Amino acid sequence: MTKKLICLSIVFIMSFGVMQAQKSIIIKFKENNYTSYNGKYQSGNENFDNLINNSGHKHNPIGNFAKTKTLVVNLNPDDFLDFYINEYKKLENVDFVEEDFIAKGAGISNLESNSFNPISTFPNDTFFNRQWGLYNDGTMSGIGSVVADSDTDMELAWDIETGDPNMIIAVPDTGFRMTHPELAGRIWNNPNDPIDGIDNDGNGLIDDYQGWDYVNNDNDPTDDYGHGSNCSGIILAKANNGIGYAGVNWNSKLMVLKVLNQNNSGTYSAMANSIYYAVDNGAKVISMSIGGTTFSQALKDAVDYAYNHNVVFVACMMNDNNNAVYYPAGHDNVISVGSTNANDYRTNPFSWGGGSNYGNHIDVVAPGNYIYGLSHTSDTNYNTYWGGTSQATPLVAGIISLMLSKNPTLSVDQIRDIIRDSADDMVGNPAEDTAGFDIYMGYGRANAFKALQDVPVLNITETADISNIQITNPIKESLIIRSSKELGNTKIIIYSLEGKQIFETAANIKQGINETNLSNIPKGNYILEFNNKNYRKSFKIIKH
Ligand SMILES: [Ca+2]
Ligand SMILES: [Ca+2]
Ligand SMILES: [Ca+2]
Ligand SMILES: [Ca+2]
């Protein structure tokens, strides 16, 4: 009863946040002949400048104005929105004018503690046994119907890849608990804008050293609601450190961007801005657990900007348990994620109500109910769980970050194909999860292990005459290498067919016959790579 009351109060707060209409509009110009001075944009169009100045409206760019040609204009509290949308539409050289809509985060927390007996399993994080979405042995209680293996096979996936330390994953959300030990040393810092009161990198944001807060317009994106800390931890919580939880990705960096306020809602202009920021500052994956019901050209432009820069954009289907389309999930070029329960059925309802939305734009589903994670108010309280497509989305984003860690040359389209093709189909409710694509489960429940198996090992480019090296194959005790030239110091690397590196040695390869002992390599099929600064070649080999 207590829990129901708490959830109802949360829903009320969220609804209130949504109903508070922001008096802002977004304008995109057709031509880029507008200049900035003194922090103001001069359009060169007298009518526009007069309208802006006479109305007392404030305006700010979305993304890099020179590229996006898009501004957000904040109206005065008493202004009529529709009146000004029409006034701005009447101006010359305007591509579109739209309301700056409000979207909301797609997850709700328990806000209650729950007692569990920690059982240490692989990895050694204290509460790994609660992370049924990663590894579900069928024994977890208190989370509804449980079926073993209705998970993403993370314990197998980690055998292939645990994440590239140099990769950046952006999570535009309510922010993050910046001091949390589960992300110590793993929060992205902007090397081009140290904290000195100066906008060193000239992007219009002063000292955006640890991301940005688009809600309060400052450089401290600390979480004041909890949604972002949970979502970020799902992707990136430190694994194998003996505390808390294991993130999907053990090594990469989190870019913290705050676009949702303390009621879990935020403007489309903040969302769009955060997307441009993430792309321009090197993020390879954007995980956005936010949805709004209205189509927006400005948000679509930002999503397409990410796609055109080969940045993967993952978003949530939202939680109404119907076929309502939310954005950004409804845009093309987004990988859209629904939620499953611990028995592989589409979540309906979540622990608090609602259900995972469905429709033709869904790509895959992933575990999203009773998802325990990091707290935004404590470094030691690990008893918060959340439910929503918000939680399924970062799980898929995390899997994608592992795929890109294994092979950074993958395109967004390749990633989407692999995520779809490797998903487990026909595992859910037979009435919904029919063979192949269906609107409830998309192509199926994401499977990290299968996805990583399907990622080809980094394409090997031949950088020298391919006749340089011949090898005996199959291989017994020793690898016999015939080289037509002296290659010098060369790495000899062996990968499993899944792409996991299992062996590496350095050899000084001379002209003629060379021999390297491989007696410790188990029998099987492998990929063998020769690699030095002038030469790279790979062979498929059989070890007897
Ligand atoms: Ca800056
Ligand atoms: Ca600075
Ligand atoms: Ca941990
Ligand atoms: Ca299906």
Q: List the CATH number of the domain containing 56.
A: 3.30.70
Q: Are 262 and 374 in the same domain?
A: yes
- 227 has catalytic annotation: yes
Q: Would you tell me the crossing angle of helices 268-280 and 297-308 to the nearest 10 degrees?
A: 10
Give the distance (Å) from ligand 3 centre to CA of residue 241.
5
Q: Are 263 and 387 in the same domain?
A: yes
Residue at a domain's end among 40, 65, 99: 99
Q: Which of 527, 532, 444, 452 is nearest to 487 (CA)?
A: 532
Q: Are 95 and 111 in the same domain?
A: no
Looking at the CA of 245, which ligand is closest? Answer: 3
Give the distance (Å) from ligand 2 centre to CA of residue 154.
40
Q: Is residue 17 part of a domain?
A: no
Q: Are 424 and 287 in the same domain?
A: yes
User: What residues make up the domain containing 90?
Assistant: 23-99
Q: With beta carbons less than 8 A apart as the criterion, state whether 464 and 477 touch.
A: no
Q: Are 266 and 134 in the same domain?
A: yes
- Angle CA(30)–CA(33)–CA(38) in degrees, nearest 5? 120
Q: Are 194 and 311 in the same domain?
A: yes
Q: Is residue 3 part of a domain?
A: no
Give the distance (Å) from ligand 2 centre to CA of residue 50.
34
Number of domains in the chain: 3
Q: What is the CATH number of the domain that holds 425?
A: 3.40.50.200
Give the distance (Å) from ligand 2 centre to CA of residue 197.
5
Q: Is residue 16 part of a domain?
A: no
Q: Is residue 276 part of a domain?
A: yes
Instruction: Spot the catalytic one: 390, 401, 483, 538.
Output: 390
Looking at the CA of 372, which ligand is closest? Answer: 3
Q: Are 431 and 501 in the same domain?
A: no
Q: Would you tell me the crossing angle of helices 227-236 and 389-406 to the nearest 10 degrees?
A: 30
Q: Which of 302, 418, 306, 443 is nearest to 362 (CA)?
A: 443
Cα→Cα distances 30→66, 295, 301, 319, 430, Å: 12, 20, 13, 36, 50
Give the distance (Å) from ligand 2 centre to CA of residue 191.
9
Neighbours of ion ligand 2 (CB under 5 A): 193, 196, 198, 200, 207
Q: Is residue 4 part of a domain?
A: no
Q: With beta carbons less than 8 A apart as the criterion, state whether 366 and 131 touch.
A: no
Q: Are 184 and 40 in the same domain?
A: no
Neighbours of ion ligand 4 (CB under 5 A): 425, 433, 438, 441
Looking at the CA of 207, which ligand is closest? Answer: 2
Tokens, residue 513:
């016959």
Q: Which of 20, 26, 116 is nearest to 300 (CA)?
A: 26
Residue at a domain's end among 99, 133, 162: 99
Q: Is residue 8 part of a domain?
A: no
Give the distance (Å) from ligand 1 centre to CA of residue 304.
23
Q: What is the CATH number of the domain that holds 526?
A: 2.60.40.3080
Instruction: Spot the catalytic one: 173, 208, 363, 425.
Output: 173
Write down the pLDDT at residue 35: 62
Residue at a domain's end among 454, 476, 500: 454
Q: Are 216 and 78 in the same domain?
A: no
Write down the pLDDT at residue 466: 52
Write down the pLDDT at residue 39: 57
Q: Are 114 and 181 in the same domain?
A: yes
Give the distance (Å) from ligand 4 centre to CA of residue 48.
52
Q: Are 250 and 304 in the same domain?
A: yes
Q: Which of 407, 528, 409, 416 is nearest to 161 (CA)?
A: 407
Looking at the CA of 239, which ligand is closest? Answer: 3
Q: Is residue 305 part of a domain?
A: yes
Give the distance (Å) from ligand 1 centre to CA of residue 165.
24
Q: Is residue 1 part of a domain?
A: no
Question: Mapped to the 3 state alphabet, what secondary structure does 14-38 carry?
Answer: HHHHHHCCCCEEEEEECCCCCEEEC
Looking at the CA of 130, which ligand is closest? Answer: 3
- Give every residue of the chain whose pLDDT is below 70, as ranges: 1-22, 32-44, 111-122, 458-467, 498
Instruction: Spot the catalytic one: 227, 331, 361, 376.
Output: 227
Give the distance (Å) from ligand 3 centre to CA of residue 126.
7
Write down the pLDDT at residue 42: 66
Write down the pLDDT at residue 533: 77
d(CA 306, CA 235): 19
Q: Are 486 and 339 in the same domain?
A: no
